[in-house]
């Protein structure tokens, strides 16, 4: 089974802090995604990457950046956390062969 | 996302009842996915539909994609408390493997 690991299950940060959310996959997949999930809004795509050092903006990239130095790791960075970035963050990876999107267990981030 | 409309937003059913969740797009879908999410957790893959008219079943859950590939339904037969959670439809809109999701349907099954 594909394993998508998000480093933290729960995270509490202060406004203005720089925050790193890490995602690691063990299946050599090329495409990786970061979403945030909010009540009533569903999942919204922040950024995605289709190869090492390649990244594309999703629907809501403002206030975020990403890093993909190695194929297995896709990091989401909040340069200066704000309270409106309190959310559940979900990482996903895409398997071309079976055309499936696999998700990590999520990081619930609270910015105080 | 505005790309996919999901209904209803929430559903409360008695154990043993059947239910249907709908997912609609204004655009042709190149792949329609159904996921289940336990509260506060990640998404678990249920089924993927690609062809117009396709239907797939797993245990008591059946998903269908219409001929035009713009609407899908998820049907649960004889619901159980273990079916409770949030059901999300997602689709590949053929924009470079960008996946969009509906807002989800929260299902509660009362024993």
Q: Each residue of A40-97: pLDDT tens digit?
A: 888 999 999 998 988 999 889 999 999 999 999 999 999 999 999 999 999 999 888 7
Q: Is residue B1 over pLDDT 70?
A: no
Segments forming the whole domain that contains residue A42: 4-111
pLDDT band of residue B95 (cuts 50, 70, 90) is low
Say if the Cβ atoms of B43 and A59 lie within 8 Å. no
pLDDT band of residue B109 (cuts 50, 70, 90) is very high
Q: Report yes or no: B55 and B64 within 8 Å, Cβ to Cβ.
A: yes
- Determine the average pLDDT of the residues in B88-107: 82
User: How many structural domains comprise chain A?
Assistant: 1
Say if domain B1-51+63-88 classifies as CATH 2.60.40.10: yes
Q: What is the pLDDT of residue B28?
A: 82
pLDDT band of residue A16 (cuts 50, 70, 90) is very high
Phi, psi of A8 (to 5 degrees): -125, 140
pLDDT band of residue B26 (cuts 50, 70, 90) is confident
pLDDT in tens, B44-62: 999 999 888 999 998 899 9
- Closest Cα in chain B to A42: B103
Q: Is residue A38 over pLDDT 60?
A: yes
Portion of chain A with pLDDT greater than 90, in percent:
73
CA B6 to chain centre: 8
Round to whole Å and give the CA distance between A91 and A100. 14
Pairing of strands B10-14, B105-110: parallel
CATH number for the domain harbouring residue A91? 2.60.40.10
Say if the Cβ atoms of A50 and B97 lie within 8 Å. yes
Round to whole Å and give the CA distance between B15 and B81. 7
Scanning B48-107 for CB atoms below 8 A from A yields 48, 50, 88, 90, 92, 96-104
Q: Is residue B41 over pLDDT 90?
A: no
Q: What is the pLDDT of residue A95?
A: 85
């Amino acid at each position: 089974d594909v394993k998508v690991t998000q480093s933290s299950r729960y995270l509490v940060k202060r406004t203005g802090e720089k925050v790193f959310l890490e995602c690691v996959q063990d299946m050599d997949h090329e495409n990786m995604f970061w979403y945030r999930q909010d009540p009533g809004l569903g999942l919204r795509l922040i950024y995605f990457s289709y190869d090492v050092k390649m990244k594309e903006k999703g629907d809501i990239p403002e206030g975020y950046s990403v890093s993909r130095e190695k194929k297995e790791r896709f990091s989401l960075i909040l340069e200066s956390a704000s309270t409106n970035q309190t959310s559940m963050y979900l990482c996903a990876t895409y398997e071309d062969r079976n055309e499936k999107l696999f998700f990590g267990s999520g990081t619930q981030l609270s910015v105080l | 996302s505005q790309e996919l409309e999901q209904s209803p937003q929430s559903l409360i059913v008695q154990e043993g009842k059947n239910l249907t969740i709908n997912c609609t797009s204004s655009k042709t879908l190149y792949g329609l996915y159904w996921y289940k999410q336990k509260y506060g957790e990640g998404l678990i893959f249920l089924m993927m539909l690609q062809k117009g008219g396709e239907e797939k079943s797993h245990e008591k859950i059946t998903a269908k994609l219409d001929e035009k590939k713009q609407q899908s339904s998820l049907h649960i037969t004889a619901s159980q408390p273990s079916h409770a959670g949030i059901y999300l439809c997602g689709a590949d809109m053929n924009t470079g493997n960008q996946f969009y999701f509906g807002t989800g349907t929260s299902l509660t099954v009362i024993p």
